[in-house]
Amino acid sequence: MFQNQYETVFILTPVLSEAQIKEAVEKFKKTLTDNGAEVVHEEHWGLRKLAYTIQHKNTGYYQLFQYSADAKIVATLETDFKRDERVMRYLTTKLDKYSLDYSQRRSKGLIGKKNVEPAKADKAEATTEENA
Amino acid sequence: MSLVNDPVDRKDTARKKYCRFKKAGIKFVDYKDANFLLKFVNEQGKILPRRLTGNSLKFQRKVSVAIKRARHLALLPFVADGLK
């Protein structure tokens, strides 16, 4: 069966305790693995400030999963998100060859979360200076 | 003051626009990188037009999709005041 790579980011409510978050994350991970998906990479961004309020909350726990799976699994996972009231937001994207390359480099830490901005910014700024 | 029309020095204004993604060889615009996307929105959080950013159409589309995804995940605001 042809497998696609997907990336899902979701936001959990900040009212949960550490253990509850772990439990929720495990639950969704289990949903993925039970349905035959292989989790390639995961990231826990921790408590972050939201750019606008969602459900009267200003912060949220971000979690990222990158997995290769059959297309049906996305629907299963998203139904789970909808039924779970701990999840405030979710977004699933299919990875094409460029984003796949990017996320591979990202997961290896070549463009780590902290390095992404300066690296790109430096490039952009350098080019502006050249032109100036 | 002479009455002759002196040539105006417009060196500063005649800078050619270019697409920074093509120039830097960036193939993928990441929606998770809110700080980077901040370059392509104005103070109110609106997406800047190509006329100002100089992006090629291909990358302007990618940027705009990335910004919209970031907005959905509350990484960027839909509306803001004094973002910069």
DSSP-derived secondary structure for A10-41: EEE-TTS-HHHHHHHHHHHHHHHHHTT-EEEE
For residue A126, what pLDDT is reported?
Answer: 40
Q: Would you call B20 and A127 a contact, using CB atoms and an 8 Å cutoff?
A: yes
User: How far is residue A25's CA from residue A100's CA, in Å, rounded to a whole number?
Assistant: 23
Cα angle vertex B50, ends A9, A104, to 5°?
30
Binding-face residues of A in 2-31 toward B, CB within 8 A: 9, 11
Contact A51, B74 (CB under 8 A): yes
Nearest residue to A44 via CA among A76, A16, A73, A68: A16
The answer, for B23 touching chain A at a CB cutoff of 8 Å, is yes
Q: What is the pLDDT of residues A52-88, one digit of tens each?
A: 999 999 999 999 999 999 888 999 999 999 999 999 9
Q: What is the pLDDT of residues A85-102, one digit of tens each?
A: 999 999 999 998 888 888
User: How far is residue A46's CA from residue A57's CA, in Å, rounded to a whole number?
Assistant: 15
Tokens of B14: 């005649």
Nearest residue to A32 via CA among A10, A65, A61: A65
Q: What is the pLDDT of residues B5-45, one digit of tens each?
A: 777 666 666 678 888 888 888 889 999 999 999 999 999 99
pTM for this predicted structure: 0.78
Residues of A in contact with B36 (CB under 8 A): 116-117, 120-121
Minimal-distance CA residue of chain B relative to A89: B73
Question: Which of A63, A91, A111 to probe by mutation at the B interface, max B CB count within 10 Å?
Answer: A91
